[in-house]
Amino acid sequence: MALAIYRKYRPRTFADLLGQELVVEILTNAAKMDKISHAYLFHGPRGTGKTTAARLLAKIANCETRVSDEIFKKKGEPCNKCRPCKEIDSGFALDVIELDAASNTGVDDIRELKEGIRLSPTSYKYKIFIIDEVHRLSKNAFDALLKTLEEPPSHAIFILATTEEDKVPLTISSRTQRFHFRRLPIQSILQKLEMIVKTEGIKIAPDALELIATSSEGSFRDAESLLEQVINMGEAMDLESVERILGKVGFIRTDALAGLILAQDLEKTLEYLADINEAGFNLVQLTKDLIHYLRRILAYKFDSKLGEYYEREFTINEVESIKKHADSIKDPTKVIDLIKSLIRGYSQMRYSPFTLVPLEIAIIENLKSN
């Protein structure tokens, strides 16, 4: 069975973990000084590297090279060559226990885990317990986990990961070192996708790759999965093909639609929408993308310093288009009213069998009198 792209290109060192510079700096410094904590809470959006960072920390804690080589130890990284590093990478490490709290929510699951915690590691220095989606645990399960976090055995390290930190009881989170994993910039995702397609010898149009990066919504894992989906279709990998496969319009279409709306051209806007609808694209997603795009344009209109932020987050073409559209706005209040209408339309579209209607009405209401 072929290895999935997101697994094949999973970071093997903290230096490979892009987009989380502050997290990487603190954890590598802790590793250099042998100050690895007994409990961590990694929180942030999906696909931003939480579980990967947990496995990297598991390798560092048990890396045999770090024990025997003081110079290498100062790097704060795993060697990826010793037995523990290789076993953890391959998923065969008996002393690294991963629990998915989404499917193991009960107190009995945690009690069983506690029994395993008491036992010393079979062959490593530390026993690592990674609990993913920890916010899904029941109240009784959290209570059972709390006692273990208060008085952990010296050989145990807990790494809790969640996409919803606010649902983790304070009694739990206060006993951990907390790290926020931020949503990743489109540019960082795009750079990694470019590296992957180059390494794999895959030919794909740059604007098609940009659409994949944008569609991931800040998740490396989602971007890599989408890329694999596109590759497996075996079609010509241009923008039009990728749009059809993902059911989502690319930036070029969103930009063109925004341009027609801001130009107050109702007739051409409705015709363009009709073409997009006829092609079978996801109109709900299109409306969401349009709302975000227009609010960025509006924000830049009021604060041009945001350009520096946009340049880090988006592609050069996107930034240039945002600036161009912002300069074209004569009356910002009309754009504000339009965005409000689109938000109402978006809410209605999600539960309506007539997805095009709320979007059309929102646009007509705001352009008909202009």
Distances in Å between the Cα of 326 and the Cα atoms of 35, 75, 293, 306, 339 are: 49, 46, 11, 12, 14
Pair 300, 307: CB distance under 8 Å: yes
Q: In CATH, what number is assigned to the domain containing residue 269? A: 1.20.272.10
Across the chain, which has 370 residues, the per-10-residue mean pLDDT values are: 72 90 94 93 92 95 93 94 93 88 67 76 91 87 83 90 92 93 87 89 86 83 86 75 77 90 93 88 89 94 89 82 92 93 91 87 83
Q: Are residues 45 and 191 in the same domain?
A: no
Q: Are residues 235 and 255 in the same domain?
A: no
Q: Are residues 62 and 120 in the same domain?
A: yes
What confidence score (pLDDT) does residue 341 get? 93
What confidence score (pLDDT) does residue 334 get? 92
Q: Are residues 133 and 55 in the same domain?
A: yes
Q: In CATH, what number is assigned to the domain containing residue 198? A: 1.10.8.60
Q: Which two tokens stand for residue 259?
A: 């341009």
What range defines the domain where residue 267 resides? Answer: 251-367
Neighbours of 289 (CB within 10 A): 22
Query: What's the domain count of the chain?
Result: 3
Q: Are residues 199 and 109 in the same domain?
A: no
Question: Which residues, including other chains, have CB under 8 Å from residue 130's CB and lie 6 or more apart?
Answer: 51, 54, 55, 58, 96, 97, 98, 99, 159, 161
Strand partners, 39: 158
CA distance 127 to 55: 12
